[in-house]
Amino acid sequence: MDKQVEKMQVRQNYPNLWRSDLLGTIQADTPYCFFALFCGPCASYLLRKRALYNDMSRYTCCAGYMPCSGRCGESKCPELCLCTEVFCCFGNSVASTRFLLQDEFNIQTTKCDNCIIGFMFCLQQLACIFSIVACLVGSDELQEASQLLNCLSDMVYCSVCACMQTQHKIEMDKRDGKFGPQPMAIPAVQHMSRFDQATPPPVGYPSQPSYGQPYGHPPPYQAQGYPPAGYPPAYPPAPAYPPPNYPR
């Protein structure tokens, strides 16, 4: 658990950003956002498979982030295990794909995205508390309030998950070269395993891109060697010592 907490803290200091933040995903890819809203498990299945570069031999339950990972017979029937994951543990499947992409491409979660996700979790916890209190007290008013709060939390949960999955899809469009001429290379299999490894090196993303910045913009300035190649010398070369005509 300590290693997982440490990994979560390291993830906040990754140098790259998502191509689109959660608030901009609806505008960035409206059709897919609606698809992820109404067919969330299907979108989660397709995104996880795409995140694994369509190589299901890489698949591990919940991408290796849960205690059950690697113990569910994934190697024998990964497609069936993934279907079970996205339908029975939908929230974990979305979060696991998110962590997988973040750790592979060193993408941090911005404060705004953290606030949206935190608000979703807090609203779910508040709805659960209201439901428990309403059952204990037996008040009709509290029952109605808890039901309204449950509906609101479910709406927020579905909306945020749809935006998160759209965010993942946009990031993989960037990875696969849909925003630029060069698709990114497929990493080695060991790079897809997360918590038991050190922080992975950058794989080609530019540092600190702004939201909506086209893929393939000029990389940041890199200092050249000194003096640069072809640069004329500042002073004439020193003559040999002693001079040829020096009297002996």
Q: Is residue 209 part of a domain?
A: no
In this predicted structure, what is the pLDDT of residue 211?
A: 42
HSE-CB of 236 using CA atoms within 13 angstroms: 2
Q: Is residue 248 part of a domain?
A: no
* 124-137 burial code (b ≥16 CB/10 A, e <16): beebeebbeebeee
**Position 201 pLDDT exceeds 90:** no
The candidate with the shortest Cα–Cα distance to 61, out of 20, 92, 19, is 92
In this predicted structure, what is the pLDDT of residue 209?
A: 45
**Position 168 pLDDT exceeds 70:** yes
Stretch among 98-107, 136-145, 149-158, 196-205 having the lowest mean pLDDT = 196-205
HSE-CB of 18 using CA atoms within 13 angstroms: 28
Q: Is residue 143 part of a domain?
A: no
Q: Other C-beta atoms within 10 Å of 26: how many? A: 17
Range of the domain at 45: 2-109+168-192
Mean pLDDT of 214-223: 42
Q: Is residue 239 part of a domain?
A: no
Confidence of residue 243 (pLDDT cuts 50, 70, 90): low
Q: Is residue 246 part of a domain?
A: no
Number of domains in the chain: 1
Instruction: Give tens-digit pLDDT for 113-125.
Output: 889 999 999 998 9
> What span, in angstroms and rounded, lies between the C-alpha atoms of 74 and 82?
8
Q: Is residue 204 part of a domain?
A: no
Q: Is residue 211 part of a domain?
A: no
